Structure 1
């Protein structure tokens, strides 16, 4: 029975971890381009979930609602950059100013969600209404399986975009040296805006999947999810997409195992304990690389 329970919780954790990975990708994308930790990303994720709920109310279906949410949440990401971060970059402000700005933007978004949607928790429909699958005595919810499949497909698409397309080449050039990329004809501002759009869209997908899994939405839902996703991105090596995936899976599985075998009260702490231990052993994360400054 113990073995069955362990495997069952690992399966639960993998599904949850893939959703965390989608949020963590947003942190890694923005950090890779700007070397900035975007602490407004958790609230962007909550905005995506609420936008999907709003479109669901128009009776267009859950999946079309999530697709529309991706567009509007991506546009929110661009708005955050254009309104709050780009002016700071133009003034060559210290990095801590941008970091504090993202924290302020996060609070603004969360409070706006409370004003527009109310502070109470709201029901969200299930995304995939499929029967439970039983394999070898293990029960797998169709929602969990589809979360993994959808997350893997989207992460694969992101990887192809970054490694196989012209805009991906421009993103990698901007990541290495924004000034040199600009001199070579790369529109750095467009690349940054596109990166924020991708980060917002991935957060919206995660918001729809996790909201459909738990069937609940509320304005503060992005706080702890954002912190866990940040822990996942740092754990895997912030700036690395494979690292974000591995970090998300580690956080998701450890959270589910801790809730089962320790106490559900401590499920949120386990991810950060693992993060601290890994960073003590490997400060750059599992897939991170040491920064080399040429002088």
Structure 2
């Protein structure tokens, strides 16, 4: 029972990491951008949720969805589109700069202290399944990851815009020559990544009930770790990497002595170094992503 409980906890934590990794991996797969500002989409959504928490919960989530999608599209239009043809390292530095700018704007607006909100407390109640007590939010995290990963994979494989995403990913110049509107395709990719960010926002806030202007940074870094482990540009790989990072984090929390537990992320990041040494393309390699790296 203890092992099964640990696996469920690992899958729950890994679900949030997987959704974050998929959002990062999707943008990388389409335009080769490692968007380190992605965690700020999650963070700004949390503050919109804080401001709209008095509304009936579907309206509050709807407000977060609209704001974060528009926020992601604005970041693409105002920032990333202007440097889209720049080298990858320039794009990465720009995303770092955007991340820091958003964080400090939010500090000016809301302060740096932790804000709390009691959102959807009902889903934090535990349910008993086969002798195991599992929080409802944990089940939602696992289910949301499986459903959204499957839907997104089917969307990219079978829809017209999905075909265009793959064309832009493989050869942006050729895609433009055959009539693909790359700006529209990239905007759709940013909108989808924003939907994933909103899912993480809702589940994270419902589970923890707290936020600061800086909490998105740690989620971005862990999501990036999961993306590297799973395979840059591979959505199944990103999901797998997220669950693996969740499993490693949960196991380390159990086995590390108390004085080392605050440093468990250091052990997780060590796994990235080992992965880059042993298999730099990740567990599930994508040819276009490998060529970019």
Would you say 1:26 and 2:20 are equivalent positions? no
Q: Is the 8 A contact 2:233 2:286 kept in 1?
A: no
Residue 121 (structure 1) shift = 1.1
Distance 2:70 2:249 in 1: 32
Measured on the aligned residues, the alpha-carbon RMSD in Å equals 1.8
Q: Structure 1 stretch 38-47 or stretch 224-233: which is displaced more? A: 38-47
2:245 corresponds to which of 248, 251, 260: 251
2:117 corresponds to which of 124, 127, 141: 124
Residue 150 (structure 1) shift = 2.1
Distance 1:267 1:64 in 2: 38
Distance 1:207 1:154 in 2: 15
Residue 290 (structure 1) shift = 4.9
Q: Is the 8 A contact 1:128 1:146 kept in 2?
A: no
Residue 111 (structure 1) shift = 1.1
Distance 2:264 2:271 in 1: 12
Q: Secondary structure of 2:207's partner?
A: helix
Residue 53 (structure 1) shift = 2.0
Q: Is the 8 A contact 1:70 1:202 kept in 2?
A: no
1:148-187 mapped onto 2 (5 Å cutoff): 148-187=142-181
Q: Deviations over 1:80-125 (max 9, x none)?
A: 1111111123xx4333222111101001111122222221112232
Residue 166 (structure 1) shift = 0.9
> Which runs of 5 or more structure 1 residues have no equivalent in the other structure?
none
Would you say 1:99 and 2:99 are equivalent positions? no
TM-score normalized with structure 1 length: 0.91
Q: Is the 8 A contact 2:230 2:238 kept in 1?
A: yes
Would you say 1:194 and 2:205 are equivalent positions? no
Question: Which residue in the other structure is 1:228 paired with?
Answer: 222
Q: Is the 8 A contact 2:23 2:196 kept in 1?
A: yes
Would you say 1:13 and 2:10 are equivalent positions? yes
> Which runs of 5 or more structure 2 residues have no equivalent in the other structure?
none
1:202-217 mapped onto 2 (5 Å cutoff): 202-217=196-211
Q: Is the 8 A contact 1:10 1:257 kept in 2?
A: no
Would you say 1:271 and 2:268 are equivalent positions? yes
Would you say 1:37 and 2:30 are equivalent positions? no
Aligned pair count reads: 286
Q: Secondary structure of 1:56's partner?
A: coil
Question: Which residue in the other structure is 1:65 paired with?
Answer: 60
Q: Which runs of 4+ in 1 moved over 4 A?
A: 290-293
